[in-house]
């Protein structure tokens, strides 16, 4: 890629393909894979990422909200798409765009049956979400009879999938709890299979589940963060390639004298003669104030430069004392020498929050495989 001349998030489709193949190799051959492309494919570019994954042979997609599923259909994605967190106001557009949906409560179940019946739909594919301990969305075991009863009274829906979500698949200290979740999922799935005369697709594992609980792959796994190049395991991360690199440039360089201050609230005070650079990226782009005041830094021509003072809305300042660089030079915020996981840690957060938080103002540039 040529050097950038503005703030960009570079999306490396070769890295995506590499991660896809790696994760695929971790699950048995007959197990399907669902690519989780919610939140603009974890802050990257959902359409491009989904097309690439589709070309690589992924079986399914998942998004959080209906609008994200519609955007994928409008981008030309033909594969099945599961909307993980639909609201009843969106049921008609879900049906119109042939999106599958998660049914997680009695209210949503009954409302969806009503909508589907009103449109004269038969056997609309739904996925039942089971709560096995995350206590976020989903049915518990004692609600299953109610679901079976509702199913026996309608032809409008068909259970295409049964799924649940693990609360701590990345954490070995919670192994007992996770095994308990897997057990509960098995038990509830068995009750469904006894009540139905067909077998839905069972899916439980997220990325860390794929890595740590391969015995719980069931019929399909759902991977998000791993596709983008991260897990919650430093060693496994070495096998993956980060998809996103956030780059910017130096807008202006300032020689600073001892005692001068930098930025809003005069938060940084120069202890001696120094040199600062101003970068065209700020908290409105997703580099939050928590990274300022020397908690995190960036890379300029291969050298580390701390962020000094408060991060502004559209800019931030770095200390480039002793670094050979010029106005217009490229700066790497994360990716390359500094993985997003490492940058995120300095802001006391996790890669998920950092990468999904890069705002839509930042231009996305696609690097083909
Ligand atoms: C976001 C999400 C995933 C993806 O999890 P990763 O840890 O990013 O692999 C899987 N399943 C559900 C229900 C989710 O909400």
pLDDT tens digits for 1-41?
A: 788 999 999 999 999 999 999 999 999 999 999 999 999 99
d(CA 247, CA 34): 29
- Where are the domains positioned within the chain? 31-228, 244-367
Q: Tell me, rounded to whole angstroms, the distance of Cα 25 from its chain centroid.
A: 21
Atom of ligand 1 nearest to the CA of 226: 9
Q: Quick one: what percent of the chain has pLDDT higher than 90?
A: 98
| Helices 66-74 and 46-56, axial angle in degrees (round to 10) | 70
Structure tokens at 203: 């899916």
pLDDT at 154 over 80: yes
pLDDT at 158 over 90: yes
Could you tell which of 38, 206, 217, 227 is best to mutate to test the pocket of ligand 1, judged by most ligand atoms within 8 Å of the CB? 206
Distance 222 CA to ligand 1 centre (A): 6
Distance 261 CA to ligand 1 centre (A): 44
Region 244-367: CATH code: 2.40.37.10
* 81 strand-pairing partners: 61
Atom of ligand 1 nearest to the CA of 223: 9
| Helices 144-152 and 106-118, axial angle in degrees (round to 10) | 10
Look up tokens 């700066």; give the residue.
331
Residue list for the binding site for substrate: 136, 313
Atom of ligand 1 nearest to the CA of 64: 15
Which parts of the chain fold into alpha helices (H)?
Answer: 13-25, 38-43, 46-56, 66-74, 91-96, 106-118, 144-152, 175-195, 207-212, 234-237, 340-346, 351-356
Read off the pTM. Answer: 0.97
- In 3-state terms the chain splits into helix, strand, coil percentages (rounded to 5) of 35, 25, 40
Task: Kindly list the distances between the CA atom of residue 77 and the CA atoms of 37, 155, 243, in Å, as whole numbers in the listed order.
Answer: 12, 28, 20
How confident is the model at residue 156, as a pLDDT? Answer: 98
pLDDT at 268 over 90: yes
pLDDT at 67 over 80: yes
How confident is the model at residue 2, as a pLDDT? Answer: 81
How confident is the model at residue 244, as a pLDDT? Answer: 98
Could you tell which of 62, 137, 243, 344 is best to mutate to test the pocket of ligand 1, judged by most ligand atoms within 8 Å of the CB? 62
How confident is the model at residue 234, as a pLDDT? Answer: 85
Distance 285 CA to ligand 1 centre (A): 24
Is beta strand 330-334 parallel, antiparallel or unpaired with respect to 244-249? antiparallel
Structure tokens at 157: 């829906």
What are the pocket residues of ligand 1 if the criterion is a CB atom closer than 6 Å to any ligand atom? 36, 38, 84, 165, 206-208, 222-226
Domain 31-228 is found in CATH 3.30.70.260 = no
How confident is the model at residue 198, as a pLDDT? Answer: 92
Task: Kindly list the distances between the CA atom of residue 294 and the CA atoms of 82, 103, 217, in Å, as whole numbers in the listed order.
Answer: 42, 46, 43
**Tens-place pLDDT, residues 165-174:** 999 999 999 9
Contact 230, 341 (CB under 8 A): yes
Could you give the residue numbers annotated as active site?
A: 38, 264
**Tens-place pLDDT, residues 191-250:** 999 999 899 999 999 999 999 999 999 999 999 999 999 998 889 999 999 999 999 999
């Amino acid at each position: 890629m040529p050097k950038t001349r503005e703030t960009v998030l570079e999306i490396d489709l070769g890295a995506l393909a590499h991660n896809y193949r790696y994760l695929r190799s971790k699950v048995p051959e007959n197990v399907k894979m669902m690519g989780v492309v919610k939140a603009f494919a974890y802050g990257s570019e959902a359409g491009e990422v989904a097309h690439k994954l589709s070309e690589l042979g992924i079986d399914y997609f998942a998004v959080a909200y209906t609008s994200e599923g519609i955007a994928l259909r409008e981008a030309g994605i033909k594969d099945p798409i599961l909307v993980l967190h639909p609201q009843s106001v969106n049921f008609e557009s879900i049906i119109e765009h042939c999106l599958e949906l998660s049914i997680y409560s009695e209210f949503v179940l009954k409302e969806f049956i009503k909508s589907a019946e009103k449109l004269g739909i038969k056997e609309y594919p739904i996925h039942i979400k089971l709560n096995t301990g995350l206590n976020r969305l989903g049915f518990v075991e004692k609600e299953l009879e109610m679901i079976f009863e509702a199913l026996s009274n309608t032809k409008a829906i068909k259970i295409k999938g049964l799924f649940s979500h693990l609360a701590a698949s990345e954490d070995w200290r919670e192994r007992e709890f996770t095994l308990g979740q897997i057990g509960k999922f098995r038990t509830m799935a068995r009750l469904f299979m006894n009540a139905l005369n067909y077998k839905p697709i069972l899916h439980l594992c997220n990325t860390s589940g794929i890595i740590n609980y391969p015995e719980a792959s069931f019929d399909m796994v759902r991977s998000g963060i791993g596709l983008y190049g991260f897990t919650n395991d430093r060693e496994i991360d070495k096998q993956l390639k980060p998809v996103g690199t956030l780059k910017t440039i130096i807008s202006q360089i300032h020689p600073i004298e001892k005692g001068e201050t930098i930025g809003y609230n005069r938060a940084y005070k120069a202890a001696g003669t120094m040199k600062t650079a101003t970068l065209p990226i700020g908290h409105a782009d997703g580099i939050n104030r928590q990274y300022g005041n020397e908690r995190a830094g960036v890379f300029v021509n291969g050298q580390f430069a701390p962020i000094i003072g408060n991060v502004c809305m559209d800019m931030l300042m770095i200390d480039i004392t002793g670094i050979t660089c010029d106005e217009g030079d490229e700066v790497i915020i994360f990716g390359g020498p500094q993985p997003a996981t490492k940058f995120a840690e300095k802001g006391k957060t996790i890669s998920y929050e950092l990468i999904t938080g890069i705002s839509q103002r930042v231009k996305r540039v696609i690097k083909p495989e």
